[in-house]
Amino acid sequence: MGSESSFFYENEMRVLHSLTRVMRWLWLAFPMIYLGNILKLFQIEYSELNDLALISLLILWLPTLAERAGISPRIRRYLCVVGLGVVIAVIATNENIGIYMSYSLALITSLLFFDMVFTIKIAVISYILIVISLYFRAPGANHGEFETPFIWWVSRSAGFLIEAVAVGAVCTVVAKFSHILLERLDAARKETVVAEKKAMMTGEMQRERDAAEERRMAAERVNKEMSDYLAGFSREITTPMNTILSMDEQILKETAEGNTREYAESILVTGRMLLSLTEDLMEVTDAGAKKSIMRHGPKDGVIDRAEGLKYASGKEEFYTKLLQVFKDQAEGRRKVFTQALDEGDVRSYTVAMHSLKSNARMIGAAQFAEMAMELEEDAKMGDLSGISGKHESLMQEYDRVLDEIDGILSGGA
C-alpha cells in the first residue's frame, strides 16, 4: 500500500467497520415493521413479511461474516453498499411499503469512500435494483390511470431514471472533488509534520519560530487550494447540471403524463436552485483569484521582495534563508523534472511542480509561480507529451529567478 493512498485506505477501513456495525443493527427495523402491521399501519401479509425479513437478515449480516473471514476491503465495500441497495430493493417489491427517495441511500453512502468510479458504479447498480423491484411491485400496485402493470412499470422506471441521472451526476462530482480536496489537505498535513520534525532538531527559540512559520505557510496553502477547489467544483458541476436541466425542460415540453411531469418539475426547481448557488460561488472565487494576481504581481524584476518579506514576517534574515534554500534546491528539482519527463511519470512531475509553485510564491516570484501552476494543471490531465514547450519556457524563467536571487544574496539588488 503506497504512502499516497494510506490516507484513503485508513478512511476505507474506518468506514467499512462502521457500516458493518450499522448494517447489523438495521435488521431491527423489521420488528418495527411487524409492530406497524399489528397496529394496522401496514397491510402486509405475514408470510410475505417473513420472507422479506429472512432475506434482509442474510444480506445485512454478509459484511460481518466477510469481515470475520478476512475478505478483501475492496470486496467488503461492495457487500456493504450494494447490500444496502439490495435490502431496500427487496423491501420495495412489496406494494404496501413506500419507496420515495430511499433507493438513493446506497448511492449517498458510496460518497463516504471518496471514490468517483465507485460512486458511478453504485449509481448504475442502484437504478437497476429499483427497476427490478418495481417489476415485482407492479402486479399488486394501484395502477390508477395505467391500463396494465407493464405500462405502470415502464412509466415509474422512466420517472426514477430522471431522478437517478440528476442525483448520480451531483454525487459523482462531489466524490471527485472531495477526493482531490482530501488529497491536498493530507499533503499539507504531511508537510506540516515534516516541518515540525525539522524544527525539533534546532534550538528551542528557533524551533518554535520555524514551526510557527511552517504552520502559517501550510495554512495559506490550504486556503489557496480550498479556493481553487471551490472554483473548480463550481465549473465542473455547472456543465452537467445545464445538460440535465435542458433534458428536463425537453421532457416537460413533450410529455403530458402526470407522474413524469411531477418528477421533471421537481428536478427543474431543485436544479435551478443548485445552479444559482454554484454560479454565485464562481463569481466569488473568480473575483478572489483576480485580486490575488494583482496583489502578488512582481514590482521589480521577477521577484517582489516586499511580498516575499510578508511570508518571512518582515524578517530579512529569514527571507534570505528562504532565497538560499530555493537556490540550493534548483539542481535537484531540474533532475526530477528531466527524469519525470523522460519516463512519463505524471505523478512525480505534478508533485514536483506543485512544490516549485509553492516555494516560488514564498520568495515573491508570483509570475513564475503562475507559470508553474499552469504546468501543474496541464500535468494533472495525465499526459506530459504536449507540455515540452511550456516546460522549456518555465526553465528559462527559472534561470532568470535564480539570477535575481544571486543578485539579492550578493547585495546587488
Supply the CATH number for residue 397's domain: 1.20.120
Is residue 150 in some structural domain?
no
> What is the arithmetic mean of pLDDT over 7-32?
84
| Of 245, 266, 296, the domain-final residue | 296
Q: Is 325 left (phi over 0), alpha (psi -120 to 50) or beta?
A: alpha
| Of 115, 141, 167, the domain-final residue | 141
> What is the arithmetic mean of pLDDT over 191-208?
67
My answer on whether 264 and 370 are in the same domain is no
> What is the arithmetic mean of pLDDT over 28-55?
78
My answer on whether 281 and 328 are in the same domain is no
Is residue 156 in some structural domain?
no
Return the axis-axis angle of helices 73-92 and 3-26, rounded to nearest 10°.
30
Is residue 330 in some structural domain?
yes
Q: Mean pLDDT of all residues in the chain?
A: 78
My answer on whether 44 and 77 are in the same domain is yes
Residue 408 CB contacts under 8 Å (≥ 6 apart), including other chains: 303, 305, 320, 323
The DSSP 8-state label assigned to residue 202 in this structure reads S
**Smallest Cα–Cα separation from 375: which of 403, 404, 346?**
346
**Smallest Cα–Cα separation from 163: which of 217, 109, 123?**
123
My answer on whether 106 and 223 are in the same domain is no
Dump pLDDT digits (tens) for 340-370: 888 888 888 888 888 888 888 888 888 998 9
pLDDT of residue 409: 86
**Where does the pLDDT of residue 290 fall: very low under 50, low under 70, confident under 90, or very high at 90 and above?**
very low
My answer on whether 392 and 315 are in the same domain is yes
Is residue 93 in some structural domain?
yes
My answer on whether 224 and 109 are in the same domain is no
The model scores a pTM over 0.75: no
pLDDT of residue 297: 41
My answer on whether 203 and 90 are in the same domain is no
Percent of the chain at pLDDT above 70? 74
Q: How far is it, in rounded angstroms, from Cα 184 to Cα 190?
A: 10
Comparison of pLDDT for 122 and 253, the residue scoring more: 122
Which range among 130-139, 186-195, 279-288, 358-367 shows the weakest confidence by mean pLDDT?
Answer: 279-288
My answer on whether 273 and 363 are in the same domain is no
Comparison of pLDDT for 230 and 361, the residue scoring more: 361
Q: How far is it, in rounded angstroms, from Cα 113 to Cα 171?
A: 12
Q: How far is it, in rounded angstroms, from Cα 225 to Cα 223?
A: 5
Which range among 92-101, 183-192, 198-207, 320-329 shows the weakest confidence by mean pLDDT?
Answer: 198-207
Is residue 87 in some structural domain?
yes
Q: How far is it, in rounded angstroms, from Cα 60 to Cα 87?
A: 8
Which residue segment(s) compose the domain that 320 sits in?
A: 305-409
Is residue 148 in some structural domain?
no
Is residue 163 in some structural domain?
no
| Tally of structural domains, the chain | 3
My answer on whether 101 and 34 are in the same domain is yes
Is residue 152 in some structural domain?
no
My answer on whether 26 and 61 are in the same domain is yes
| Of 233, 266, 296, the domain-final residue | 296
Examine the pLDDT at 69 and tell me if it is beyond 90. yes
Comparison of pLDDT for 314 and 343, the residue scoring more: 343
My answer on whether 333 and 402 are in the same domain is yes
Examine the pLDDT at 74 and tell me if it is beyond 70. yes
